[in-house]
Amino acid sequence: MVFAVTVMKLVVCIKDCLWDGLKEVLFLKGKERQSIMKKVKYREKNRYNEFLSAAKIISEKISKIEGVVGILATGGMGRGYCDDYSDLDLIVYVDDKRAKEIEKYIAVGALIYKNIMLDTPVESYQIALKHKSPSKYWSQVMRWDRENSQILFDSEHKIENLLKEKLVFPDWEQKKLLKKYSDGAEDHLKYNFEMWEKRGSLINLADSLIKATEYIILWIYAKNKKFQPYLPKWLFYHLENNFVPEAKYLGIIKKVYVNPIKTAVQAKRIRAELIELSKNIGIKFNYENLKDIFKQDGNNWKKASEKTKHYLSW
């Protein structure tokens, strides 16, 4: 009994420590938040301060509306980088009873004011609180977006506590995603690639490599318990920002995207590099090649019931 209590205290302590680290990010301001993006060198001028200044003015006015519980700055303001192609993203959490009324004049779709695109959805605080995390509501992308945010207004710390409760990445979810992504990478690197190679289709060889690489990237994120970014726009987010140790392999990972594949020999060379990369980072494949896959499927037939064999044979 004493051991169980000790373990529970340890779990709570770890969760609070993780939240303390996240909270530091949620409340970062100005240059501190911009430093999050310092690894990425985009060509456009960073308009972060301009966006944040506008967001604070808007939030101050919206916060006075009856029923508004909290306001989050997400998107570029959450990540520390805004340019001419960014939206001013504000999530307005409101009391459920007032949601439909407030969204009529706040959540009105895309608007441009003073050369800044506005995106200001209204969400029910009670609905957000009610849904478990992870869930379809609190998806990987939703949690990634909310993790990369700034709290601009928070009535009675409700939003702070909401995020503390929902921005979790449990071990069971990680295990499920790791299997899903490793299976996807293997399917495209082993089965689909060899199939299209034998069929002589170069464009489908390239497509197999692109899809396999995406699965490898998502596997890396799951391994490091990094929430999946919005796809396809932010696929490389954690890699190009050096937020994961595997960022050192970005040179190999990006080859299939930036180097045009003109021959089957070139495609096979990149495939070999991706298979080696997968082994180095810990992805374990079940099959060596297409022949191995067919052999396993043949064994599955042998193990099938007599009833199955009766109906599916000729």
| Domain definitions of the chain by residue range | 24-166, 171-296
pLDDT at 39: 47
pLDDT at 7: 44
pLDDT at 3: 45
> Is residue 203 a contact partner of residue 192, using CB atoms and an 8 Å limit?
no
pLDDT at 283: 97
Query: What value does the mean pLDDT of the chain take?
Result: 90
Measured distance CA(155)–CA(69) in Å, rounded: 5
pLDDT < 70 positions in the chain: 1-41
Amino acid letter, residue 243: F
Residue-by-residue DSSP string for 3-15: HHHHHHHHHHHHH
Provide CATH code, domain 24-166: 3.30.460.10
Measured distance CA(128)–CA(42) in Å, rounded: 34
> Is residue 226 a contact partner of residue 240, using CB atoms and an 8 Å limit?
no
pLDDT at 289: 87
H-type alpha helices, 88-227: 99-103, 125-130, 140-147, 158-166, 171-186, 193-199, 202-223
Measured distance CA(279)–CA(286) in Å, rounded: 12
pTM score, whole prediction: 0.87
pLDDT at 177: 98
pLDDT at 16: 61
Strands 122-124 and 87-94: parallel
Hey, what are 33's tokens?
A: 């938040």
pLDDT at 5: 45
Measured distance CA(104)–CA(252) in Å, rounded: 48
pLDDT at 44: 84
